A and B are shown apart, each in its own frame.
Chain A
């Protein structure tokens, strides 16, 4: 994880689809162009869908880290539209 400077983190393991992406989207809105958000998310639907939703919004996915405990950390670079 050392290769990226994380500017903010958000935990979306406490919500379910479609609120998962809404919460993640709100968090990235707060950042400036080029800053990096780390999203803590669950296995299953969130990990299947949230990365793709970020891509569709035009942001840059950098890495998906498997924490080995059924959760992941997704690193996303904000790309201002």
Chain B
């Protein structure tokens, strides 16, 4: 057998198993979605080259265990016919996870799948000092657990009350779980300090008297492995995709520039200082020019 370059294989999604000569092949999945064609091909490959089963990973990925070392090239070619690509492991940008988002879910505030695809196109597999995970969740229900990720994105709704559409029915006051809405003399009062941008007022309003713009809440430095840390949401509401990607570009660049090899984002932020990082993020948030 030729010399095995484990690092190269790992980069290509081949996870060495404890059984000698076998690999668990990680596949590229974006936002937890696979086409029926993908699934068919994965099934065929698992039958023919694996042991007839797949493993669903904790981050919406699929792995085919028990792939023989000598079959790797053939498996890669076979999967490509069904539009399936190997994923990645190691120190780089990992699978971008996402819930179904506003395209399908009544609670969704943003099109999470669209964002996941764009993040994947922008960053997937990019080499960095350590692993880097993105997660995109559509709303405050947080099904996708945004704050577990090195960079988490949460869908928000930036709401405004439109007086002449309102019938003062009282539904939104009750739909709000933050106590941010009160009614006085048939008029709505929104306490903006309490609003968490969940969008429940707009979604429940029978006359659409709450108008909402899609927006994003971003958290940094989440961990859910050996160390557990909830990502820090240090920026105000992000109101456009352009602004969102300015921030994600700057965050990942900060990690590339400042992290030591093998150091997760959270520990880089601890060492370099969250305040220093925050200044950089505010610069990106404001369009590259700091206040």
A binding-site residues for B, Cβ under 8 Å? 43, 47-48, 51-52, 55-56, 60-66, 72, 74
Contact = CB atoms under 8 A, between A and B. Distances in A.
15 contacts: A48-B174, A48-B175, A48-B200, A52-B200, A55-B204, A55-B205, A55-B206, A56-B106, A61-B171, A61-B206, A62-B206, A63-B169, A63-B170, A64-B171, A65-B170
B206 A66 contact: no
Interface of B: 106, 167, 169-171, 174-175, 177, 200, 203-206
B170 A60 contact: no
Contacts, number: 41
A75 to B, nearest CB: 8
Contacts of B170: 63-66
A61 B206 CA distance: 6
A62 B170 CA distance: 10
Contact of A52 (B169, B177, B204): B204
Contacts of A72: 174
A55 B205 CA distance: 8
Contacts of B203: 52, 55
Contacts of B205: 55
A67 B3 CA distance: 78
Nearest to B177: A48
A47 B204 CA distance: 10
A20 B200 CA distance: 19
Given A47-B175, A56-B106, A74-B171, 5 more contacts: A61-B171, A61-B206, A63-B169, A64-B171, A64-B174
A73 B206 CA distance: 15
